[in-house]
Amino acid sequence: MDLQICTELDDPQQMLPPPPGTFVDRDELIQHAGDFAVSQGYVVTIKQSKRDRVVILGCDRGGVYRNRQKHMDESSSEHSRRKKTGSRLTNCPFEAVGKKDDGLWVLTIKNGTHNHEPLKDISEHPSARRFSEREVLLIKEMTESGLKPRQILKRLRQSNPDLLSTPKHVYNVKAKLRQGNVAVRNFKSLSKQKSFVRNNYSAVTEPSWRQCNPQRVPNLIGGRFVDSQSFTSIDVLNPATQQVVSQVPLTTNEEFKAAVFSAKRAFPLWRNTPITTRQRIMFKFQELIRRDIDKLAMCITSEHGKALKDAYGDVLRGLEVVEHACGLAMLQMGEFVSNVTNGVDSFSIREPLGVCAGICPFDFPAMIPLWMFPIAVTCGNTFILKPSEKDPGASVMLAELATEAGLPNGVLNIVHGTDDILNAISDDDDIKAISFVGPNAAGAYIYSRALGTGKRIQSNVGAKNHAVVLPDASMDATLNALVAAGFGAAGQKCMALSTVVFVGGISLWEDKLVERAKALKVNAGTEPDVDLGPVISKQAKEQICRLIQTGVESGAKLVLDGRNIVVPGYERGNFIGPTILSDVTADMECYKEEIFGPVLLCMQADSIEEAINIVNKNKYGNGASIFTTSGVAARKFQTEIEVGQVGINVPISVPSPFSLFTSSRPSFAGDLSFDGKVGLQFYTQIKTVTQQWKDLPE
């Protein structure tokens, strides 16, 4: 919370009002006032709320309200006026006012004086005692059984004679239960030894967003997972069954501003946190990911559709980046030059940028978020993550683990949405850098829009990766690589080998390639021994089938057709079997566009020079591989090919995080890419300091 420094008073008995400040939401404002009151020896209660935009907090010393008794001899209007006044103020004149302003809550002190001594024991106050988790559940059960509040209290006191709650408190709990909110944090005691748990999301039994059916995916703002106030949401469907897994709300503009404010507020303290402390959080984070890897993989499979073994690989590749982040202290070291001139030293240091943002695609729900925020926050930045609206569950689970690992409130925030959120991230002046991975059109749009506002940006977009196969290549090893890289994860990955150029003709390879593709098992990702799961959506399936058909109509030979595959038990799934098109030429739409499905395009070339020319003319430049036993040919290929990543007898794969993920030409926009040293450089800026110290004259 953004607090102003308050001056300590000389009188030790003088109680202080809570420091004014700005807060993400109403709950955080009330929590701040309540926790501060505990330290001062008084209890804050809510006195008034108007349409949830204004809240007046007062000091309730003993629950005695002024003017509460009805005077029979006064007029009706006078009685109404006195009743309104009496219901608003207690016997202590202290008042603090919280008002919602432009999406945030601002606390000001209207009257900060108290007319009583501090309470010696805050637990003695009638309003301080609330209900435990078990008691809340008992209240729910007894209410459903028809018991009245006084009867409920009588039964609760049988097991807890020290219970100080009143029927009014039971009514409040019942109101929460009617709203479907049984979060225990709303009923916790304001005692010093317990107040800290309200910052810990794990202390809440079941937050409201988990109680919905289907579950609503929460935002993460200021360290708390909160259900969006948006009435609009997108269904997340299981691609194998079409069942609704969850709903993604379209985050409101106010909620987005609150997330940015939360990240901006957390930055000064986080940037000054020692790098070793940040690293220790990453060590704990990677330990928790390993602990919950089964849950993460299952979540990915249910939302994305990829086979469980691919989902595990997704998490493990991201985990490597977290492990890399554990050693960033060495990479963040600057340089020092002593005595560059007489008595003058010069040194450079790397400093974080501030608030950064990440926009993720659907193809790697765990790996790509882990590409981004672990490096960013370990460098000292705060982060706003926008997961794909098609499979956001893994990002939320990773954020829960990061919070459990000790990441402070506000350092990592999550918002959901589509175009409006992308525009807001691109336009917000407080966001200094954006990492983007996704489709071409969105990447180009965000790059130009964010660049216009002076942001640093790295944008990795579409790909059409090639494999060049020479006649001398090892038959079995090459076929295994082509099938795995071409059809793995149903071809839904930016590093898939979607096009194969056979130098010298395809006749020796075609039959065996079809035979191995037919051997792949297509089924739901949760089934045992499955090789290919469904594609992400019906729209994606329709687009893939359309591109296959345009290839056939343009003269390509349909060697293997997987469009009409039916998976028993999953007839409604978005399944496409392995598909192979041969005799593909560079002018066909299926070659020019990114298919992003289990489709392998086969082309032919008379020489390695012609094959290299085909690859270099394609508008995408992610990566290319060559399969050969000739070192001379391999060297020629790696020298002349114009792509970011080159494989020699291996398919294109995401490199280890301590090396560099590179793309070229339209597949990447920006000066600094992901991973390795440049990944660190993207999230930091260099500051050069020149200093001179002279002795003072005598």
Catalytic residue numbers read 494
CA distance 139 to 146: 11
SS3 state of residue 690: strand
515 φ, ψ to 5°?
-60, -45
Closest CA to 281 of 406, 148, 410, 438: 406
Instruction: Name the maximum alpha-carbon separation found in the chain.
Output: 109
Are 626 and 497 spatial neighbours (Cβ–Cβ below 8 Å)? no
Ramachandran assignment for 387, one of left (phi > 0), alpha (psi -120 to 50 degrees), beta (any other): beta
SS3 state of residue 393: helix
630 φ, ψ to 5°?
-100, 115
Are 331 and 440 spatial neighbours (Cβ–Cβ below 8 Å)? no
CA distance 491 to 163: 61
For helices 275-291 and 367-378, the axis angle rounded to 10 degrees is: 160
User: Residue 378: enclosing H or E segment and its boundaries?
Assistant: helix 367-378
Closest CA to 258 of 418, 54, 103, 434: 103
Residue 5, burial from CB neighbour count under 10 angstroms (0-12, 13-18, 19+): exposed
CA angle 630, 632, 635 (to 5 degrees): 110
Are 628 and 634 spatial neighbours (Cβ–Cβ below 8 Å)? yes
User: Residue 688: enclosing H or E segment and its boundaries?
Assistant: strand 684-692
Beta-carbon neighbour count of residue 34 at 10 Å?
20
CA angle 648, 651, 654 (to 5 degrees): 110
CA distance 674 to 654: 11
CA distance 433 to 178: 44
Per-residue burial over 252-289, b if 16 or more Cβ lie within 10 Å, else e, is beebbbbbbbbbbbbbeebbeeeeeebbebbebbbebb
Closest CA to 541 of 587, 490, 484, 588: 490
95-101 and 104-111: which strand pairing?
antiparallel
Beta-carbon neighbour count of residue 377 at 10 Å?
27
CA angle 212, 213, 219 (to 5 degrees): 45
Are 226 and 210 spatial neighbours (Cβ–Cβ below 8 Å)? no
Q: Which amino acid does the sequence have at 251? A: T
First to last CA, the chain: 49
483's CB contacts (< 8 A; 6+ apart) are 513, 516, 517, 520, 578
